[in-house]
Amino acid sequence: MTHIVCVKQVPDPETKVKINPDTNTLVREGVPSILNPFDQFALEECIRVKNKIGGKITAVSMGPLQARTTLLKCLALGADEAVLLSDNLFAGSDTFTTSYILSVAIKKIKDFDIVFCGQQAIDGDTGQVGPELAHHLGISQVTYVEEIISIDERKSVVKSISDEGYKIVEAKLPVLLAMFPPSSFKPSNPPLRNILQAKQKKFINWDAKKLGIDETRCGLAGSPTRVIRIYPPPLKKKGIIFKEEPEVACKKVVEELLGKGVLK
């Protein structure tokens, strides 16, 4: 059995995103990249599952060739093999197209039982690729999964976060689990020894041709949505910071809030 983990390389959130004013596109050069922390949690949970029920872990990522470093990190963390889906034809894919391309690759890997992914990526924050991928694969999904309670060859029991608390969900395999890390989760870096070993593991590169994918369904051409403009958010008026006597400050703030009609 193969457990699939879908990962994304994302810009480091500690760095401020810049827009090129001439082209209206994101400046990606010089911005350090990291493995999406939600995906790292998914991978670490997948490793736990593998330790319990066996199987092989394949990490899959769609992205530019530089995303190789992210997949190498996955291998160092414990994935058994990596698949990088990279092609100019994939550029400009929205969530619909991204999930479709991933599904074609995963179907090619075959014999999968669980597909793990992060609930969302910290750059786009849509949380859409997981459920869309589950549909394209024709399997069920559980989103906002914080913990895998039990798992065997046939079914999984997971704890998923709901708006009011938690749900315990039982899902037959194959299933896609969109993982949401608990507050205590801190993405760690693998030890150097594992990083060196990672380079010995199987690394597969697939482009559109190798995937045998319908090119009209890839990238911008296949994407239903179009970003027509990106722009900096409207500048927020600089706030009023009171550094004087707190009594005065509190009075003023409450007055201001009353004036804005916030307090009823």
Nearer to another protein, 91 or 168 (CB): 168
Please give the helix or strand (H or E) that residue 18 lies within, else none: strand 18-20
Q: From the CB of 137, what's the least distance to another protein, in Å? A: 10
Single out the residue of 105, 109, 107, 114 nearest to residue 85, CA to CA. Answer: 105
Q: From the CB of 194, what's the least distance to another protein, in Å? A: 25
Nearer to another protein, 161 or 195 (CB): 161
Q: b/e map of 87-106 (b: 16 or more CB within 10 Å)?
A: bebbeebbbbbbbbbbbbbb
Single out the residue of 99, 107, 103 nearest to residue 132, CA to CA. Answer: 99
Q: From the CB of 158, what's the least distance to another protein, in Å? A: 9
Nearer to another protein, 10 or 75 (CB): 10
Pairing of strands 56-62, 81-85: parallel
Nearer to another protein, 85 or 198 (CB): 85
Q: From the CB of 233, what's the least distance to another protein, in Å? A: 5
| Gap between the Cα atoms of 156 and 179, Å rounded | 14
Q: From the CB of 131, what's the least distance to another protein, in Å? A: 4
By CB neighbour count within 10 A (0-12 exposed, 13-18 middle, 19+ buried), where does 201 fall? middle
For residue 162, which amino acid is it? S
Contact 7, 43 (CB under 8 A): yes
Q: CA torsion 69→75→80→81, rounded to 10°?
A: 0
Nearer to another protein, 37 or 201 (CB): 37
Nearer to another protein, 193 or 264 (CB): 264
Q: From the CB of 28, what's the least distance to another protein, in Å? A: 11
